[in-house]
Structure 1
């Protein structure tokens, strides 16, 4: 178990609270895989939700390696019991597109929104999404869809939207989504990669219209986790 309570509380204080009723979307990204960006995003969402007056959403935008919901389910002592599976879109929009489109057993089209679910934690103060990638058919692909109304719609129902994207060395998601976010936080870990790659990522995001709010040095403190029965996988 990784405990970043102190670090994320400091980051939340540095970023300040949203200044309007419109929810704030923050994207977390790293230049290299293995820098702990998913852990940082999850820990930030946990701390944010503890003080939130409105729901905090943790969006798993790593479309090829979904893991946020499973990670939260594996720590019930920190996130509490999950609520039921729910739709993860206020208006039917989503931030990705399937190709070819899904169909049900009768051959009728299935909207992309049916492939995205969420489960609530902390008495519905924290919502964590998951792409139902196990439902994808052979040859079916899923890609980010930047023209979606999803982010604007979700802002009306959330205090914060925390977006976890894959590292820049794996995908271009950060550059694609950056213009749609209110801010971007770059995660840097100890002993990983070169500073030039971080600076290049910063430049790419800014050139795409994104706003860099800062860089977080991730030197996680690992604490012993008490033995317990394995947590069940997410029911989707």
Structure 2
């Protein structure tokens, strides 16, 4: 594992710590697969919880794979043990919908929020979400919805909400939720010379009503050119 602690500290300082009573929702996304977005989002959440002492939720938009919960569970020495699954929705809202709705034995409809759980990571300071794929039945499909209800509900329980979006070349999830994020960080592998795709993604996010805070060069095997660059012209 590449140690990104230094970069996370610089990123935290650059974004600015949220003021008391002013929770922040920060999305991490890449234009292409393989840029290491999930690692960056996960390490930022860990830094915010352990080094900055904030209450953090790490929300995984890759619903079918839930890679964040799997990665944390695979490395308890680094992240901490995962706690028991609990509801990930404080008020019954969700950032997705499952269609067609599932009918319970008593004839009631399963609410979307029941498909999402959260695990405390190494205690109670930060949490990671996991989608319950096992609860899907038949031809049910999941769609991210353009609504701020879930994000506003989480603001009452966390200082920082870190959102890990799938790469834009395989999912529109990040663009769908972009208008409801306070900041979106574009992640690019440090050894990736072509920045045209991130530039196009920046324009798409801005056009959707989102706010790009900058570009994070993710260190793979070489020293990155910088931790956070001004958004591309």
State the TM-score, normalizing by the size of structure 1. 0.89
Kindly tell me: are residues 193 and 133 of structure 1, through their superposed partners in 2, closer, same or farther at Cα, counting changes over 3 Å? farther
Structure 1 position 23, deviation (Å): 1.3
Q: Secondary structure at the match of 2:152?
A: helix
| Corresponding residue number in structure 2 for 1:21 | 21
Q: Structure 1: how far apart are the matches of 2:189 and 2:164?
A: 16
Q: Which 4+ runs in 1 deviate beyond 2 A? A: 51-54, 103-108, 190-194
**Structure 1 counterpart of 2:176:** 176
- Mind listing any 5+ residue stretches in structure 2 that lack a counterpart? 223-233
Aligned partner of 2:130 in structure 1 is: 130
Query: SS of 2:158's equivalent?
Result: coil
Q: How is 1:206-221 mapped onto 2 (pairs within 5 angstroms)?
A: 206-220=206-220
Alpha-carbon offset, residue 193 of structure 1: 7.2
Structural RMSD (CA):
1.7
> Contact between 1:87 and 1:117, CA under 8 Å: does it hold in 2?
yes
Q: CA deviation at 1:121?
A: 1.4
Unaligned stretches of 5+ in structure 1? 223-236
SS at match of 2:213: strand
Q: 1:150 corresponds to which residue? A: 150
Instruction: After TM superposition, give the deviation of residue 80 of structure 1 in Å.
Output: 1.5
SS of corresponding position for 1:118: strand
Q: With CA pairs under 8 Å and 6+ residues apart, which has the higher RCO, 1 or 2?
A: 1
- Tell me, yes or no, if the aligned pair for 2:147 and 2:177 is still in contact at 8 Å: no
Aligned to 2:65: 65
Q: Which residue of 2 aligns with 1:232?
A: none
Within 1, Cα distance between the matches of 2:13 and 2:7? Answer: 10
In the alignment, structure 1 residue 201 sits paired with structure 2 residue 201: yes
Hey, what's the Cα distance between the residues in 1 that align with 2:10 and 2:148? Answer: 32
Superimposed CA distance per residue, residues 119-150 of structure 1 (whole angstroms, 9 cap, x where no aligned partner)? 00132111000110121112100001122511
Aligned residue in 1 for 2:32: 32
